[in-house]
Amino acid sequence: MKPTPFTLLLLALGMAVLLSALVSVVTIALARWNGAALPAALIQGGIAFAGSLTLCCAMLAFLSGSPR
């Protein structure tokens, strides 16, 4: 059974969200280890999540628009 392009897109977006969540958790842990308060660490984690998800989606759009 061959996967459809829609299925591959959903898989790629799911992987992008999981990678961004991992980046966010690591950022929060590093900020807390550095002595930041919990609200400041959560803000840094949110910024890291948004930035990495934006970068992942931009790379997916670039790769999907490339000619074959």
* CA 54-60-64 angle, 5° bins: 150
Nearest to 27 by CA among 7, 10, 53, 46: 46
Rg for the chain, CA atoms, rounded: 16
Instruction: Check residue 68 and give its pLDDT.
Output: 58
Contact 20, 53 (CB under 8 A): yes
Question: pTM here?
Answer: 0.87
Provide the angle, in degrees to the nearest 10, between the axes of the packed helices 5-33 and 38-64.
150
pLDDT by residue (tens digit) across 18-67? 999 999 999 999 999 999 999 999 999 999 999 999 999 999 989 887 66
